Chains A and B, each alone.
Chain A
């Protein structure tokens, strides 16, 4: 037997930790992690108080909705698709939540309505993409306009949220030892990441997502459930967008049709910086979370500095996306 052959009996612990993927597939994620740590180190040296653990926790607090959004986007991009509608769905979700609460719905019913609407819209786009063979870009672009339009249909003005339950959740903080704190939204985001990682790696649905990203026609010939999976990822992305919308409404305590403009692009950027290949088939959901944290760190940098214009955020994000896409390109070309 050659050195590469391992009988299942003597799999090392490391092999088991790696589970599905050899380390080469973890490289992009490790790169993102290194970038994140490096940025933090640099910030800690430059600015007083930057290297405080609470700064990291605040990153999670401020970006919980974006993490959830990126989780859904990861599913879609892993199949080789894209979902441009998520930013609008976030706005629509805040609108549905605010207006139903205003109309006197119980908070649980309002939340259920939001999640249902998001999932339904996602499913609809998935069906159109798969059964009418429409480019995901086009179908979700239509979904993006549709959701934004629906916001205006509900109201052109901002609707404040005054519900007690929403207030209570928004104001709640979990105190950690050492005086640090996080909010419930962070727990939701972390749960979303953990659940997504489980689904992607330990269920047939998840592995089919990767298979479709590798080659859709092969997946079909292998007898995998391509249709169900493709529609499923858009449904998941719609659900995540609605959930992110709920978190966002907790953050802003209002519904407004101009909320989350262009947020879909932030989500896509986070996924790409997190090491997921835009052509599908490669990437980890943890990477997307790290991608969000990197984006958040850039913003923190700028707010700590105080002299830099906030436009620097965009410039840095733009450059990072470019760098990461190029790195991926080079790495995939190296493959035999």
Chain B
């Protein structure tokens, strides 16, 4: 093992104090014989942003949960301010000034935004909760994060990205010494990430130690000072970010050079060639009150349409209307040559439309079923429950997708709840790919997925499109949208503002389109 590399040589002189607030030594945790962590260590100093790096399933979230008292450790020790101390519950960790945003949004959807931010530490007056003070305090924190929502609105009514921001707001509201953020940026767009970084920087300058997990290397390089790298549950080493190149880092994480990352093997299809046929799906003035203003859209065979736009621009809403997860108030939808009313997802699945939702926790993953069952769910549903999939076929399909998407552990019988976040996402994707749909709608399919697997997934989508599948692709990562799409549809303020072939379009072009339309609107109003 490479314990050597964790020696203090990596500490930058000057800014970091010599005593770590937290030191984890030789942590080992096994789940039913399988070691999720094997002798891993982590040192955290006041006033630093510390990135925890590793592929999907490397053990990042497990290490965080070991520290904060969610899991109990099998061996090893945790030192807080140099003294050995183990937390038995998340509440105890919070009490000691460790504030954590876990990977999935872990809030309660049935309460208000303000309550979610302040539950357990509501301001009180004479023993009773002071609702007004609570809402006021929540509003202040929301303002600091630039989040324009009402503290009295119910959390579950907001999209997942907003919920993620509320979870962050909850964590930064307290006076914490240690702030842990496990993939907080996975569904945020650039603006929100920037706001979050501002808050992180100011906390760091006030001496807070921050742990940051992300699969976006650019973000890591922008915000972090130091990093600890894990691979397969073992410690690879600790490095200063400034002294490690991205290539070196990737090599440390995956243990070999990464080839596919550069560019997807895909010629952006000539739009004219595609448009020669009949559209497989055509939306005319599709709209839904409060969600989307009338949108026209044509989707051709073998084409990938990328929906670009910022948070709340209506991308997800459009996807849900196309799939029939929500019903449109007006407009019509043609699938094939006929006008269809997609009244329910069931209808859509029958017409061979598949939709992978951005909200994997509440709309996708069934935690208590196995990986195989989760994968086969949609296919089985579309065949009807009276025609079971033959056993041989089942295992062939499942192992094929476990291999293509590199799902770990590569065990079809593993329980879904025991998979890491990124691996759960891959299983969900496989669920829809298995149905071999004609139209595939992907809402944030690579959320929380590591760089290697991301490239793999993009490749799979590109291959499927080449074989004739039509794809609607949504991602808050614009680079990814541009890499994959043949045609770009740009959304803003819940309507479509632009559509163009994806030829020589850059990220800044897209941002310019969005900003430009905002300016134009200002001008007409003035």
Contacts and interface: CB of A to CB of B under 8 A. Distances in A.
Contacts of B131: 19-20
A277 B120 CA distance: 23
A179 interface: no
A15 B148 CA distance: 18
Contact of A221 (B106, B112, B136, B159): B106
Contacts of B296: none
Interface string B74-110: 0000000000000001110111000010100011111
Contacts of B95: 223
A220 to B, nearest CB: 6
A11 B132 contact: yes
A5 B132 CA distance: 15
Interface in A192-228: 198, 201-204, 207-208, 210-211, 213-215, 217-225
B521 to A, nearest CB: 15
Contacts of B326: 336
A281 B89 CA distance: 23
B110 A220 contact: no
A178 interface: no
B278 interface: no
A223 B91 contact: yes
Given A5-B149, A19-B131, A225-B91, A281 B110 contact: yes
Nearest to A5: B150
B128 A223 contact: no
B149 A4 contact: yes
Nearest to A6: B150
A222 B110 contact: no
A210, A211, A221 — most chain B CB neighbours (10 Å): A221
Interface string B109-135: 111100100011010100111011001
A259 B106 CA distance: 45
Contact of B120 (A22, A202, A222): A222
B93 A282 contact: no
Contact of B154 (A19, A25, A221): A25
A214 B90 contact: no
A304 B149 CA distance: 53
A8 interface: yes
Given A8-B135, A20-B115, A204-B122, A222 B150 contact: no
Given A218-B108, A222-B170, A202 B129 contact: yes
Interface string B127-156: 111011001100100000000111111101
A198 B170 CA distance: 25
A210 B110 contact: yes
A285 to B, nearest CB: 16
Contacts of B297: none
B129 A220 contact: no
B414 interface: no
A210 B108 contact: yes
Interface residues of B, number: 41
B157 interface: yes
B157 A335 contact: yes
Contacts of A223: 89-91, 93-95, 120
Contacts of B170: 222
A196 to B, nearest CB: 14
Contact of A4 (B115, B120, B150, B159): B150
Contacts of B122: 204, 207
B128 A203 contact: yes
A222 B119 contact: yes
Contacts of A282: 110
Contacts of A8: 132, 135-136, 139, 151
B148 A5 contact: yes
Given A5-B149, A6-B150, A207-B122, A220 B132 contact: no
A224 B108 CA distance: 12
B70 interface: yes
A2 B152 contact: no
Interface in A1-37: 1-2, 4-9, 11, 15-16, 18-22, 24-25
B152 A213 contact: no
Contacts of B154: 21-22, 24-25
A198 B120 CA distance: 17
Contacts of B91: 223-225
A207 B106 contact: no
A11 to B, nearest CB: 7
A335 to B, nearest CB: 6
Interface string B147-177: 0111111101101000000000010000000
A330 to B, nearest CB: 13
A15 B91 CA distance: 32
A18 B156 CA distance: 18
A210 B136 contact: no
B111 A222 contact: no
B455 to A, nearest CB: 32
Interface string B254-288: 00000000000000000000000000000000000
Nearest to B115: A207
Contacts of A210: 108, 110-111
Nearest to B151: A8
A194 to B, nearest CB: 14
Nearest to A219: B108
A25 B107 CA distance: 18
Given A202-B128, A221-B106, A222-B120, A15 B90 contact: no
A16 B136 CA distance: 13
Nearest to B139: A8
Contacts of B100: 221
B108 A211 contact: yes
Contacts of A213: 110
A11 B120 contact: no
A336 B157 contact: yes
A222 B132 contact: no
B148 A214 contact: no
A207 B149 contact: no
Given A222-B170, A223-B93, A11 B135 contact: yes
Contacts of B119: 204, 207-208, 211, 219, 222, 224
A204 B156 contact: no
Given A6-B152, A207-B122, A223-B93, A214 B109 contact: yes
29 contacts: A4-B153, A8-B136, A8-B151, A9-B136, A20-B111, A20-B115, A20-B131, A20-B152, A22-B154, A25-B154, A201-B129, A203-B128, A204-B120, A207-B115, A207-B119, A207-B129, A208-B119, A208-B120, A210-B110, A213-B110, A214-B110, A221-B70, A222-B106, A223-B91, A225-B91, A281-B108, A335-B157, A336-B156, A336-B159
Given A2-B148, A211-B111, A213-B110, 14 more contacts: A8-B135, A11-B135, A22-B154, A202-B128, A208-B119, A210-B111, A211-B108, A214-B109, A221-B70, A223-B93, A223-B94, A335-B157, A336-B157, A336-B159
Interface of A: 1-2, 4-9, 11, 15-16, 18-22, 24-25, 198, 201-204, 207-208, 210-211, 213-215, 217-225, 281-282, 335-336
For the complex of A and B, the 5 pairs showing the least CB-CB separation, nearest first, are A214-B108, A223-B94, A8-B136, A281-B110, A223-B91
